[in-house]
Structure 1
Amino acid sequence: MPATAPSSAYARLVLRITDARTGALVDAAPARRGLTRVEVHAPAFDTTNLRVLLVADLLVRALELGGTPVWALLTGGREEAELRASAAALGIRPFEGSRDVSAGLGEAQVIHVVGEGGVEPDGVRIAVAHVDPAAPAAPEGTDPIALRLALLSRRRDTPARLDAAVLADAGAALAHWRRAVAAWAHRPSRPIPDEVRGQLRAAWEDDLDVPGVLRVLRRVENEPDLPDGARFETYAYADRLLGLDLTRDLGTPA
């Protein structure tokens, strides 16, 4: 993947998401400079609502990577404490708990993140497909970040099933990438090729296509002409969105 100058089209990329109310793609960042409020609606404690929080976490990360200030808050139910604890284990950053804290901040955009068939607030709405309730519980000792990767591997509008095989595959992929990143870190640093950076951004700016981001990372891993130092920087950069703690094993022997 040779380094190329970023195209004028890439320079104009902006995060666009599908509004569940209309089915149309809309800009997630406000047209005028200002704050975006991300409001998460998760009324119960289950894996589907945990997925709702994960999608909101991705949205916040993507907006921040694009330079948009974000205020994120959670409207939960009676099991909100349990939901927040499980979200923290998955690397989901905390959400504010009261809509009053955003009063007077002058947000220019409000985006609601909801589960399919849940509340239907006015305004731009991101709908998240369910996680199969018949799926067995994660085996004891499962890395919570492997669960995060398993959920990230499916588009948010596609139902997910988290059986033992899916979680085992995600855990193996996560361990493999962490070992690879730790090994690449021993090589001289090299910049991310502009083409690769553009592919990553084009994927996540296109309706939060995280599976597309993961495909780019797999190509980067197997590109024979790319220096290991550039692979490391690429994975570290993408992990600012993915939140998989891919650099966790830095400092281990090569």
Structure 2
Amino acid sequence: MLRILDARTGEPVAAAPARRGLTRIEAYASGLDLTALRVLLTADVLVRALELGGTPVWTILTAPRRHAELRTAATTLAVRPFEDGRDLASGLGEAQVIHVVAENTEPMPSEGPLLTVAPAVWTAPLGRAEPLRTADTPTAGEAPAPRSPRDHPPLDLSALPALLSDPTALRLALLSVPRNTAARLDDDRLGEAAQRLARWRRAVAGWARQPSRPVPDAVRVRLRAAWEDDLDLPGVLAVLRDVESAPGVADGARFETYVYADRLLALDLARDLGSLA
């Protein structure tokens, strides 16, 4: 059973009602920045985990400004669409409400379990070209402002679709950091995530050429134990790294393991099927 740490009480609670009743996930985004995007990504993974466990879910996005741009950026990272308003839930009789918010959000929602998300910032190394435009990037002909090593310019999410050749790399980079730990991303971390994605996709395409085999029971248990423990996504990724090179695991089983885990991660790991490995 999926359990999450309720920031309101500090205690783990079941994310799904006892009778698998409808669960409402409400994400709160205070602005158009990387932290807000991480909140939406966390809500998305929570929805996927609940659905894998058989719990019906519906989601709402509460954002005071730049709502459309935030939704576009979230869609770029394969976050499923959110509903626009609570009135759509009238008469649905949800059995559980879970709020997903950034740390130190004020005011906090007053009911239901609270899932908090640590900040995410884009840290651009001094003296290097920045592959992603940030909100304070000067326009053409404008001199760049001096920057302290402690400055962390907010990522300009309104241009995210045009800035990333593979937005899924940013999704992987964010999923690789524990939810309660601040995520400090830069071009190096994004490049590492892109390289890992490319390697895994080539491997999945190659494994798909072999006879299919079921996900090993021990691997399935490890995967579910990780994501059902307060959405431990780095733990899920660690299982995939182990399976990638574990001796004695048939390639067909590696393939099915990665496809199964991707129902939660949404990294499009099977994208290169049919291509040369």
Distance 2:198 2:118 in 1: 27
Give 1:189's aligned amino acid: S
1:81 is aligned to: 68
Distance 1:223 1:133, change over 3 A: closer
Give the one of 99, 112, 124 matched to 2:113. Answer: 124
1:177 corresponds to: 200
Q: Offset of 1:224 from its aligned partner?
A: 1.4
Structure 1 residues 74 and 228, CA, compared in 2 at 3 Å: closer, same or farther? same
Q: Distance in 2 between matches of 1:183 and 1:134?
A: 36
Q: Taking structure 1 as reference, are residues 179 and 86 closer, same or farther at Cα in structure 2, changes over 3 Å only?
A: same
Q: Contact 1:39–1:113 at 8 Å: present in 2 too?
A: yes
**How far does residue 253 in structure 1 lie from its aligned partner after superposition?**
2.0
1:225 aligns with 2:248: yes
Alignment partners' CA distance in 1, 2:269 and 2:209: 15
Higher relative contact order (CA 8 A, sep 6+): 1
> Which amino acid in 1 is paired with 2:214?
P
TM-score normalised by structure 2 residue count: 0.84
In the alignment, is the contact (CA less than 8 A) between 1:138 and 1:167 conserved in 2?
no
The one-letter code sitting in structure 2 at the alignment partner of 1:240 is R
| 1:69 corresponds to 2:56 | yes
Counterpart for residue 243 of structure 1: 266
Aligned to 2:184: 161
Q: Whole-Å Cα distance in 2 between the matches of residues 50 and 178 of structure 1?
A: 24
Distance 1:133 1:252 in 2: 34
Q: CA deviation at 1:117?
A: 1.2
> Match of 2:57, as an amino acid?
V
Alpha carbons 1:15, 1:63 under 8 Å: kept: yes
Return closer, same or farther for 1:108/1:141 CA change in 2, 3 Å cut-off.
Answer: closer
2:19 counterpart (12, 32, 36): 32
CA contact (8 A) 2:39 2:101 kept: yes
**Deviation larger for 38-47 or 136-145:** 136-145
Q: Secondary structure at the match of 1:107?
A: coil
Runs of 4+ in 1 over 3 A off after TM superposition: 133-142
* Number of residue pairs aligned between Structure 1 and Structure 2: 241
Offset, 1:32? 2.7
Letter in 2 for 1:121: P
SS of the aligned residue for 1:161 comes to strand
Q: Deviations over 1:49-73 (max 9, x none)?
A: 0000000000000000000000111
- Counterpart of 2:136 in structure 1 is none
Residue among 216, 223, 227 paired with 1:200: 223
TM, length-normalised to structure 1: 0.92
Secondary structure of 2:184 counterpart = coil
Give the structure with higher Rg (CA): 2
List alignment gaps of at least 5 residues for structure 1.
Answer: 1-13
Deviation sequence 1:34-54 (CA, Å, 0-9, x none): 100000111211110000000
Q: Which moved more, 1:129-138 or 1:22-31?
A: 129-138
State the Cα RMSD in Å. Answer: 1.2
Matches of 1:44 and 1:116 in 2, distance apart?
14
Instruction: Tell me how far apart the structure 2 counterparts of residues 213 and 81 of structure 1 sit (CA, whole Å).
Output: 31
Q: Is the Cα–Cα contact under 8 Å of residues 123 and 185 in structure 2 kept in the other structure? A: no
The runs of 5 or more residues in structure 2 that have no matched partner are: 133-162
1: distance between equivalents of 2:221 and 2:237? Answer: 14
Q: CA deviation at 1:202?
A: 0.4
C-alpha separation in 2, matches of 1:78 and 1:196? 43
Q: Deviations over 1:103-132 (max 9, x none)?
A: 110100000000111131022100000012
Partner Cα distance (1:110, 1:171) in 2: 35
Residues 55-109 of structure 1: CA distance to partner in whole angstroms, max 9, x if unpaired?
Answer: 0000000000000000111011220101000100100000101011011101000
